[in-house]
Structure 1
Amino acid sequence: MKSATVRQTTTLKEGWTFSQVPSAYSKDIKESWYSCTIPTSVHVELKKLGIIPDPYKDLNEWKVQWVQEGDWVFKTSFRVDDYRLASGHLDLMFEGLDTYCTIKLNGQIIAEVENMFLCHRVHVKKAVRSGENHLELLFKSPWHSARITEEQNGGPKTLWNGASNRLYSRKAQYGWGWDWGPVMMTVGPWKDIHLESYDVRLEDIRIDTTLGGEDYADATLSAEFSSPSKSNYFLDVELQNESGQVIRSAESLPIERKLHWDLKKEVRGWYPRGYGAQPLYQLIVKLKDPRGVILDSATRRVAFRSAKVVQQPLEGQEGSSFVFEINGIRVFCGGSNWIPADSFLTDIEPNRYRKWIELMVRGNQNMLRVWGGGIYESEELYNACDEAGILVWQDFMFGCGLLNASIKVEAEQAVIRLRDHPSVVIFAGNNEDYALAESIGVMDYDDNSGDYMKSKFPARHIYEILLPEVVERLSTIRYHRSSPYGGKSSSDPTVGDIHQWNVWHGTQEPWSNWDKLAGRFVSEFGMQGYPDIRTVKEWSDDKTQLFPQSRVSVNHNKADGFERRLELYLMENFRHSFDMPGYIYYTQIMQAECLSAAYRLWRRNFKGSGKEYTAGALVWQLNDCWPCVSWGIADYYLRPKPAFFTIARELRTYTIGMTRKQVKTMRDDDTSAFFDLTERLELWACNSTLQGVEVIVQLETFNLSTNARETHVYSATLNANASSEIWSGDLPGQPVRHNEAEIPQPIVVQARLYLKHKPHIVEARYSSWPEPYKYLTFPDAKLQLSVDGDEVRLACEKPVKGLVLDVEGHEAEWSDQALDLFPGDVQVVHAKGLKGRKVTYRHVGDGLA
C-alpha cells in the first residue's frame, strides 16, 4: 500500500510583475512591467514607483481615478518538482482576488472569479507541468465590469452613498466612495496565493463549545476531509490551555464520528472585558493514515462561553429588550462601529489592528460592530478582540442598497471562518437595507410569504431565507436580519436595534434630546469633529490650504452638507473662531460634548433585569480609512479625538450623571404671561460590577457671576450591573424666574462619586454646565498647571470647560482630555512620552471676547 503524501503548502509571494494592459476602454495602452510582491494592489504599487501621487494628499484622489478603469495583469512563475506532481491533488488557493479576475496557468484559463470576499481553491493538477509554470491574473476594470452588470440588470437601483454600479459587485462597497471615504477602487491580489499538494486534507473542523455556570462546559467536534474513503483515515485531537498543557486528548478517532467532551471544571469561561478573564485554548487536530503518518493538521483557537440576545417584555414600557447576555450576565454594550482601517487594505500592518483594539480597551469599550460596507475583516482584528474581551457585532457585506445576488458560498466561508472566535456574538444580514427599502416604499412587513424574489424588495430572500439558513446550519451564533431592524419599522425604538441619526442627519435635534431619541439598542449614532492638527497637516503640504474652507479641506470631508451641519451645531452651542487651530478645537469639543451625552443618558436607561430600556450604544465610528474630517472618534493615524476621552469616562466601571431641565408652571389656565420658571436637576450613577456598592456623592455648585458656592452630600446604594437614581430637585442656588427676560444664574454643578470604603479616591466625576455655552461669559479661571515628568497636575480657582492639552513637537499619549475642572478638585493627567516638556492648552471661551 502506497503511503499518502503529506500536504505541502508553498506561498507564491515573490517574483511577481504587473502592468496595465490594453482593454476595450483603453486600447492604446503600452505595457510597462514592474516588479512587486503580493498581497498588494495597483494603487499601492504605482505610488511606490512614483507613477501616481499620494492619493490621500491635496486633490490627488481625483488624479488616480483612471486606475479603476483600466485592466491590469499580475504574473509570476513557479517550479513544481516530480514529487509534488505525484501527489493525488495539486491546487492553487487564492485567499482573495480584488475583484474581476481571469486566472491563467501556462496559457490555459483555469478559473474566472468576481467576488472579492471569496477564497478560491482551483484544482490544477492537469494544467501543471514539471519544472517552470507560468501564472497570470488578468484583473478587469471594476468600474466597467460593475457598470456592464448594472446595464444588463435594468440600470441603477436606489442606494445611499457611492455610485449605483457598486450594487452589482461583490467588492468592498466603501471603495465606490462614502460620506467619510474617497473613491478608491482597488485592483489586485489582496490576499495570499498558495500552491498546495496533498493526497488527502482536512477541509473543515467544527467545534461547538458551551458554558453552563462555573462548573460545567462541554465541546463537540466534527471534521470533514477531502477523501470519500473515510475508513482509511483517523484523527488525533488535543485540547491545550494557554500554557500548552494538554487538558483532553483522543487518539485514532474514526473520522466520521463526532467527539464530545464533558469538561466540567477543566476549562474556564470567556467573558467580555470588565466581567472576567478571556482564557483561550488551542485545539490541535491531526489527520493520519492507518500507519500513523500525519498527513495534515490544523490548529484552532477556541474559548468557552454562552452568548444570546434577550428580547423579552420590559417593565412599564412597550416593546422588548435587546440585550446581550454572556454567560448569564446581561451586558451594557458601549462601543463603536468599525470601517476598514485603510482604503488600501494591503497597507494595514497586522499590528495596526491590535493597536486599534488596544485603543478601545483604553476607552473602556466592550463591543465593536464590523460594518456591512467594508470587508470580513482580518484574523488579526478578531484575534485581538478575542484576547481583549471585545464583543463583535458582525454584519454581512451588504450596505445601504437594494441588491440580490448569489452569495451563499460567501456567507458559508464567512461563517466558517469567524464562528470559532468567542468575540463574535451576532451576525447581521446587512447595513440599513430595510431602512432604505422603507424610505422608497418597497418594504411590505405584512408579506411573510417567504417568496420574495418577485417582490419589490427581492433582497429579502437573502436576508430572511439564505443567510439565516447558513448561520444556523454552520454555527450557534445569533442571526439578526439587518442593522437596524425590529418592530413596526427599522426605526422603531421599542424593538430591536436602531440607527439614531436625528442628530446630524434627519431632524437635526439638539444633543440635549438624546434621552428622547433612545432605543433598545442604538447601533449607530454620531457627530463629526476635526482630527488632530497633525493629521490635518498631513493632507496638504501647501500651507495656504490649511483653513477650514479651502478646496483641500473640503475634499477631505465627504459628508453631504457638512458645512451647514457643523455650523448648525457650532452656532447653536458655542462662540467659535474660524482659524484652523480654533476651528479644530471647537468641532472637537462639540463632538465630545455631543457623544458623551448620548452614552451618559442611554446608560442611565440600563436599570437592571427587566428594565434594560437601552442596552447598547455603538458610536459611528471608531476609525477612519484615510486622513479626513469624519464622525471618527480617533483619526486615521490612531490619534484619539477629545470625544474618545469623554466617551471613555462614560464607560468606566462607575459613572455619575446629571441632567437639568427647565420647568414652566403657569399660574392658571387663563394666562400666558404669569408663570414660574424653575430649573430641575436629576442625579444618578451607574455601576457595571456584579455587586451592589455603597457610595458617597458630593454635589457642588459654583455661580460664574457671583462666585457663590454650595455643597451637598448624598449617600446611596448603587444596584449591581445597573444605573441607580440618587437625587432630584431644584438646582441649588437658582432662583425662581417669572419671565423670559430674567436670565438664569450661570451655575456650574459638579458631582464626585466615592466608594464608601474608599472615601478619598474619586471614582467618577461629572460637571453639568448651563447650555448653550454661547451665552456664558467665561471668567479667568486662574488655571494652575504643573508638569513632573509624564504627569500633569491641574487645578483652578474657577470652573474650566473642555480643557484640551497638547505639547509641541513629538506628541504624547494622554490618559485624559476634554476635561472640566472645578475649584478644589485637583485632577492628574498622565502623558506617556511627555518627559517634562512644556504643555499647551485650550478651553471653551479661551481667546474669545
Structure 2
Amino acid sequence: MLSSRQYLNRGWTSKQRDDDSENAWLPVQKVPSQVHIDLLANNKIPDPFIDLNELAVQWVAEKDWVYRVPFKCQTEPTTDKVVTTDIVFEGLDTFATVYLNGIQILQSENMFLSHRVHVTELLKGNESENVLEIVFESALLRGRELVKEHSHEHRFIARQTADSRIPVRKAQYHWGWDWGPILKTAGPWRPIYIEQYVARIDDVWAQNEVSKDLKRCSGSIFAKTSGARPGNDKILVSLSLEGNTLFEKQCDIDSSDLVEISYNLDDPKLWYPHGYGEQNRYTLKAVLIRQGSQSTLDSKSKLIGFRRCKLIQEQDSAGKSFYFRVNDIDIFAGGSCWIPGDSFLSEISKDRYRDWMKLMIEGNQIMIRIWGGGIYENDSFLDACDELGILVWHDFCFACGSYPTYPAFLESVAQEAKLNLRRFRSHPSLVIWTGNNEDYQVQERYRLDYRYEEDKDPESWLKSSFPARYIYEYFLPKLVKQEDPSVIYHPSSPWGDGKHTADPTVGDIHQWNIWHGAMNKYQDSHLLSGRFISEFGMEAYPHLQTIRSMITDKQQQYPGSMTMDFRNKAYDHERRLMTYIAENFQIRYDLPSFTHLTQVMQADTMSFAYKAWRRQWGQPGARLCGGVLVWQLNDCWPTMSWAIVDYYLIKKPAFYAIARALKPVAVGVSRTCHEWTKGHSNPTLDARDTKFDVWIASSRLVSLEAEVKVRFISIRTGRDVLKPIILSKVSVQPNATTNVIGNRIIPPLSPQFEDTSKPFDLSLYDPYVIHATVMVGDEVLATDAAWPQPLKYLDFPDRNVDFRIAPERDHIAISAERPVKGFVFEETKGMKLSDNGFDLIPGEKKQIKVSGTDTESLRWTYIGAPAASLEIPQL
C-alpha cells in the first residue's frame, strides 16, 4: 500500500467562540483559510482592503474562533499490513487547540510550525462521521498576557506597533507595519490532510560540496523513515538528470530509521543564477520497499541543485567586502526585498507566487530578500526561484524588536528553525539565512547591552538586556550548521562584525538616509553607498486604477484626503513625500498629476541609486558594493508605499528604472549636481560648472568592443548644442565596471556665464540633457540620460510627441522633437509593457511592445505635459 492523502479542504464551518446563537456557524468556502476571509464571504464584515474598513474589523482580533469539519475515513486495513493514520496540519494561525471526536490531540502556539498527529485509535468506523474541531485563541490578547507574565525578566521593545507581538510566534506584520494594515488573522492558514500508510519516507535530502575546480560533487544522501521494519525493509535512493539515472543504491534500514549514503558525481551540471548559466536540477528520489513481497510502501522525490556559493568578506582598502560568489563567478546581487504577498496568506496561490518571481527576471533582478517580519515562505516561492535562477536571502522571523529568551520561547524557536531549515535545505536558490531584520538597530537605539569583542560567553548574553544576541549569534548558527551546513549564515540584516549597523565599510547596511533619517537628496546616492545595500527605498503612489479600487468614495480621491492619508502607513508620510516632491518638481496637486510626480520621483531615485551603486561593483579584488536590494518589491494590500509593483502586480515606473539599470550591459551618465536646497546655495552653478562621467557596467562574462556616443541636447529646442563625443572602440571589461569618460568638463554654452560678476541672464540659459548610447554593431545595448537638477527649474514647452501604432496593434513607436522626461503610460491589471517611465530623446524612436490592452485606450503623460492623462491619438 502506497501512502495516501485525503485533504480536508471542504465542508468546514466556523464561528465566533462566544457566539451561541442559532446562526453562529458560518460556511467556509475552503481550507486553507483565515477568519477575515470567511467573515467577508458571509457578509459579516466589510472588505478590509477598501476605504477606512480596516478600522471596522479590528474587533475580530479580540475574539476566539472555532473551525469544524465532519469527515469519514477508511480505517480498516485492506491487506495484512497494519495501516497508520495521521492528521497533518501544515500551518495553524496561531494559538490553536485541536480536538478529534471531542478528544484534544494537539496544542500549538507557533504559526510557523507544522504538526503530524497519530490518530489511528481515535477514528470512528468507516461509515461513521468524525469531527475535527480547532479553537483559535486571540493572538492579540495572548500576546498581552505573555508580555505581562514575562515583564519581570525581559524588556519587550517593538519599533513597529505593539510590544505584544514580540513574544508571539506569528507573522509580525499582522500587528501592522509602515506599509501594511493591522489585520491579526486566525485560522488554518495552510493545508490540513489525513495521511494513511504502512510505512513512510519522512524526508530525503542531500548534503554536498562542489569541489573548487567545479569538476566534482560529493556528499551524502539521507532518508528518514517512519514505520519501516529494520532488517526487512529497504530503501532505494537515486539521482537522475533529465531522465537519466546517474546514481542508484539500495540499502537496509536500521533501528534509527535514518539512512545515509555517500555519493560522488563527476562533471556535475551546476545550478547558476539567471544570466550566468543554466538552472540545472537533479531528481533525488527515495523508494521504500518491503522485502518478500517486494511491494513499494512509499516514495518521495524532489528537485535539487548543486552549486558552490561563498560570501566573500575580505579585507581591502575600503574595509571588508561583502558579495556572493557562485560557481567561482562574482555576482552583483541586484534585486528586491520581499514582504508577505498578502495580508491574508491563505489567499496566495502557487501561480501568484510564480507570477511575482517572473517579474523579478523580467526586471533583471536576481536576488530576493525574504524579510524577517513575515513568514518562512511557501515552498512554491522557493520552487519558482529554483526554476528561474533567483538567489534567495531569507531572514529568520524576527523584526524590529528586542526578543526574549525564556525557555518556552527558545524551545518554540528551535522547533520552527529546525523545521524550516529542513524544508528549505534542498533548494539551490537559497544561499543565505540571516538572523533577523534590524534587531541590532533596536539594540543601538535603546542602548541595550552589547560588547561584541569583549563578551564572547553566550550564557552571559542570556542575562543581559539584549538576550536575543544568544539567538542570533549562538543558537541559530548552531542549528544552521547542524541542519544545512552548506548554507551561509549572517547574524542580522544589517550587521557588520559587531560594528555599528550603519558602518558602510563592513557587512550590509540599510540605507534609509533617503526618505527616513537625514532625508538626503536621492541625487546624492553615490555618497551613501556601503559594501552591500540590503534595504533602501522611496515611496510612490500606485497607478490610478489601484487607487480608485481601494478608495471608492470619489470625494476622497485626492492627495491628502482623510482616506488617502489613512491608507499610507509610513511615519510622517505626507511630510516626507511632499519634501521630495517640492524639492524636485513643479507641484501639480490633482490626483493624476500628483500620482505621476510621485512615480517619476521614485523611478529617478531607483535610477540614481542602482546606477551609482552598481558602478561601485568595480573590478575583481575591488568590489566596493556587492549588491542592492530595494525596499520593496511588493505590497500585501492595495496602498501607497515603497513597493515598485503594487498588490495587483501592476508595475510602477520604478520597476522599469531598475530593469534598465540592471541590464546585462548598462551605461551610466552622471553630471555634477550642485546644491540647491540650502539657504545660500547658488542655483546658477549648473550653467557655469558642469562635469560629467560615463561608465559601463557589465555582468557578461566575456569582454565586448563597443561604440559609445554621447550627445548634448537642448531641452528647449531639441537640437544638439555641442558636437557629439564618439568613442568607436571601447573595451568593455567582463563582470566589471568600465570607466569610459571621467570628470570631463563642459565649458559654459554662453560666454556671459563665465563672468560671475555680471547678473545671470536666465533668458540665455539653455539647459541640456547629456545622453549616452552603447552599441555593438547595429545593436543598441543600453542608453542613459543625465538631466540638470532639480527638474522643477526646467521649462517644458510643447514636446511634439509622435505615436505610430504598428498594423498588428502590438507595439507603438514613440518619438519627440524635444527631450521628454518621465513619459509614463497609466498601467492597469493585465497590461504588459516592454518599458515604461522612460525619457524620449530627439532623433530616436522608442519601441514599446503592448499586450493585455488596446493600444488606442492607453493613457499617458510626462513631466510638464499639458494635461495629466492623455490618450493615444487615433492614427
Pairwise same-fold verdict (TM > 0.5): yes
SS of 1:408's equivalent in the other structure is: helix
Cα deviations across residues 133-176 of structure 1 (Å, max 9, x unaligned)?
22110111111111111111118722221211011110110010
Residue 713, structure 1, aligned to residue 726, structure 2: yes
Contact 2:15 2:67 survives alignment (8 Å): yes
Whole-angstrom CA distance in 2 between matches of 1:812 and 1:124: 50
Whole-angstrom CA distance in 1 between matches of 2:546 and 2:829: 13
Residue 183, structure 1, aligned to residue 176, structure 2: no
Whole-angstrom CA distance in 2 between matches of 1:28 and 1:237: 54
Whole-angstrom CA distance in 2 between matches of 1:104 and 1:835: 55
Give the corresponding residue for 1:95: 90
Distance 1:376 1:847, change over 3 A: same
1:154 is aligned, of 141, 151, 156, to: 151
1:423 is aligned, of 429, 436, 458, to: 429
Contact 2:75 2:120 survives alignment (8 Å): no
Give the corresponding residue for 1:250: 249
Shift of 1:490: 1.4
Aligned AA (1:623):
N
Q: Within 5 A, what are the aligned runs for 1:399-798?
A: 399-404=399-404, 405-406=409-410, 407-444=413-450, 445=452, 446-451=454-459, 452-475=461-484, 476-487=486-497, 488-661=499-672, 678-705=689-716, 707=719, 708-714=721-727, 715-735=729-749, 737=754, 739=756, 742=760, 745-755=766-776, 758=777, 760-788=778-806, 789-798=809-818
Aligned AA (1:289):
R
Residue 9, structure 1, aligned to residue 19, structure 2: no
Distance 1:779 1:66, change over 3 A: same
Contact 2:716 2:818 survives alignment (8 Å): no
Shift of 1:388: 0.6
Whole-angstrom CA distance in 2 between matches of 1:591 and 1:819: 13
Q: Within 5 A, what are the aligned runs for 1:3-42?
A: 6-22=2-18, 32-36=24-28, 37-42=30-35
1:832 is aligned, of 848, 851, 854, to: 851
Give the corresponding residue for 2:289: 288
Whole-angstrom CA distance in 1 between matches of 2:482 and 2:830: 50
Distance 1:839 1:193, change over 3 A: closer
Worse-superposed segment, 386-395 or 140-149: 140-149
Cα deviations across residues 110-131 of structure 1 (Å, max 9, x unaligned)?
2211100000122233433334
Shift of 1:181: 0.4
Contact 1:710 1:732 survives alignment (8 Å): no
SS of 1:355's equivalent in the other structure is: helix
Q: Which runs of 5+ in 2 are unaligned?
A: 676-683, 869-875
Give the corresponding residue for 2:131: 134
Contact 2:674 2:686 survives alignment (8 Å): no
Contact 1:364 1:652 survives alignment (8 Å): yes
Whole-angstrom CA distance in 1 between matches of 2:166 and 2:52: 26
Contact 1:674 1:738 survives alignment (8 Å): no
Give the corresponding residue for 2:220: 220
Distance 1:840 1:78, change over 3 A: closer
Shift of 1:731: 4.2
Whole-angstrom CA distance in 2 between matches of 1:398 and 1:734: 55
SS of 2:65's equivalent in the other structure is: strand
Contact 2:62 2:140 survives alignment (8 Å): yes
Cα deviations across residues 646-680 of structure 1 (Å, max 9, x unaligned)?
1100000111112112689xxxxxxxx99995221
Distance 1:812 1:75, change over 3 A: closer
SS of 1:231's equivalent in the other structure is: coil
Give the corresponding residue for 2:368: 368
Contact 1:21 1:31 survives alignment (8 Å): no
Cα deviations across residues 21-77 of structure 1 (Å, max 9, x unaligned)?
11xxxx887761122231111110111111111110011111111111111111122
Contact 1:162 1:174 survives alignment (8 Å): no
Aligned AA (2:48):
P
2:825 is aligned, of 790, 805, 810, to: 805
Distance 1:811 1:738, change over 3 A: farther
Shift of 1:836: 4.2
Whole-angstrom CA distance in 2 between matches of 1:812 and 1:132: 49
Residue 169, structure 1, aligned to residue 168, structure 2: yes
Aligned AA (1:239):
L
Distance 1:209 1:542, change over 3 A: same
Worse-superposed segment, 679-688 or 282-291: 282-291
Whole-angstrom CA distance in 1 between matches of 2:633 and 2:226: 42
Aligned AA (1:260):
S
Distance 1:113 1:806, change over 3 A: closer
Aligned AA (1:798):
R
Shift of 1:733: 4.8
Shift of 1:710: 2.6
Whole-angstrom CA distance in 1 between matches of 2:829 and 2:639: 21
Contact 2:543 2:826 survives alignment (8 Å): no
Q: Which runs of 5+ in 1 are unaligned?
A: 665-672
SS of 2:165's equivalent in the other structure is: helix
Distance 1:826 1:556, change over 3 A: same
Cα deviations across residues 382-423 of structure 1 (Å, max 9, x unaligned)?
111111100000111001111122200100001000111111
Give the corresponding residue for 2:271: 270
Distance 1:811 1:474, change over 3 A: closer
Distance 1:662 1:466, change over 3 A: closer
Give the corresponding residue for 1:667: none
SS of 1:169's equivalent in the other structure is: coil
Worse-superposed segment, 399-408 or 126-135: 126-135
1:65 is aligned, of 52, 58, 71, to: 58
Contact 2:649 2:829 survives alignment (8 Å): no
Aligned AA (1:78):
F
Distance 1:433 1:84, change over 3 A: farther
Shift of 1:253: 5.1
SS of 1:763's equivalent in the other structure is: strand
Cα deviations across residues 753-785 of structure 1 (Å, max 9, x unaligned)?
012xx2x22110001000000111123222222
Q: Within 5 A, what are the aligned runs for 1:292-441?
A: 292-314=294-316, 316-317=317-318, 319-404=319-404, 405-406=409-410, 407-441=413-447
- Corresponding residue pairs, total: 825
SS of 1:341's equivalent in the other structure is: coil
The CA RMSD over aligned residues, in Å, is: 2.3
Provide TM-score, normalisation by structure 1: 0.93
Aligned residues with identical type, % of pairs: 38
SS of 2:734's equivalent in the other structure is: coil
Shift of 1:737: 4.1
Shift of 1:301: 1.0
Provide TM-score, normalisation by structure 2: 0.91
Give the corresponding residue for 1:143: 140
Give the corresponding residue for 2:872: none
Cα deviations across residues 77-103 of structure 1 (Å, max 9, x unaligned)?
223444259836432211100000111
Residue 45, structure 1, aligned to residue 51, structure 2: no
Whole-angstrom CA distance in 2 between matches of 1:810 and 1:746: 38
SS of 1:237's equivalent in the other structure is: strand
Contact 2:449 2:464 survives alignment (8 Å): no
Contact 2:13 2:26 survives alignment (8 Å): yes
Worse-superposed segment, 624-633 or 731-740: 731-740
Cα deviations across residues 175-198 of structure 1 (Å, max 9, x unaligned)?
100000000011101111122333
Whole-angstrom CA distance in 1 between matches of 2:826 and 2:97: 52
Give the corresponding residue for 2:836: 817
Cα deviations across residues 709-747 of structure 1 (Å, max 9, x unaligned)?
431112321111011111124443535645496466512
